[in-house]
Each structure stands twice: as C-alpha cells, then as structure tokens.
Amino acid sequence: SLCGALPEHVAIRQANSAKKKLNTLRVKTDVKPIVADPKPVSPGSFVCIWAEGDNVFLGADSLGARGKPSETVGEEAAKKMVQEVRSGAHLDRHTGDHMILPASLAEGSSVFRTSLITLHTLTAIEIAKVFTDAKFKVDGREGEAGTIRVEGIGFRNKG
C-alpha cells in the first residue's frame, strides 16, 4: 500500500483493509504501508498485491481517487486477488496476456492456465500467429478462466 503527498494513515488504512479481506484465503500475508519519498507533486495512492508460488504468478491492484475511502482501495485490490487465487490459474489475466509472445517464440510446447481470457489475450494470440506462425489452442472462452497451449517456433538469437 503506497501513498504520496497524503497522510501516512492513508497507506496504513488501505493495507489493513486489504489484509482483512485477504485473511479469507487463510494464507500468510505480508503487508507493508509505504509513504512515497521523495514526496510527489500531486497526491495519490494505490494497493498492489501479488502471490507467488510454484509456477504461480498472480497480481491485483486498486487505485485511490479523491473521495474514495482508503478502506475501499484496499478491499478492491484484495477482492481481485481472492478472485485470481480462486480461479485456480497459474497466471493472472495480465501476466497471461504477456506470456503469449514469449511462448510463441519458445522451442516446444508451453501450457498455462490464465484466470481470465480477455479480448487482449485473444488479440495477442492473433498477432503472434501473424508474426511467428506459432500454433495455439485455447480451452475456454473470453470472460472465463482458460488454458492456453502454444507450439512455439523455436526462435534462436543469431548473436
């Protein structure tokens, strides 16, 4: 939880709210409220949460806004993380999108489960097909969790 050009209690309240919601997962949480240093020109806050494990990379966040209670910011980020974890996926929706290109260039097969197949995911696949001739199989539909299988082209750097 981070805030800048705002009182320290904003970051603390956001962090405590996120931790309270994350406790529903019954996992170890490490919460760190941080005040930006040096002080930024304009005020702002956010909460960024990530979970790491064996082949698991999940993230969630929420931005503060004028008039938005600090507790809401923390709870929003934590609710997103709870959804990510409960999806049973290896990767969150954004990390899954970013794996499309490297998987298409890699040698052999890559398989991963993403918490949400987004339009961005499907667009990245179509673009990767055009540029790499990689083969993709998507098990799932847009707006749902899904598994993506990629037969990469085995690109090798000539350097």
Residues noted as catalytic: 120
Q: Which two tokens stand for residue 90?
A: 């290896």
Phi-psi region of 26 (alpha: psi -120 to 50; beta: other; left: phi over 0): left
* Block residue for tokens 């997103």: 80
Which residue, 109, 145, 102, is CA-closest to 125? 102
Q: How far apart are the first and last CA of the chain?
A: 42
Distance CA(72)–CA(66), nearest Å, equals: 12
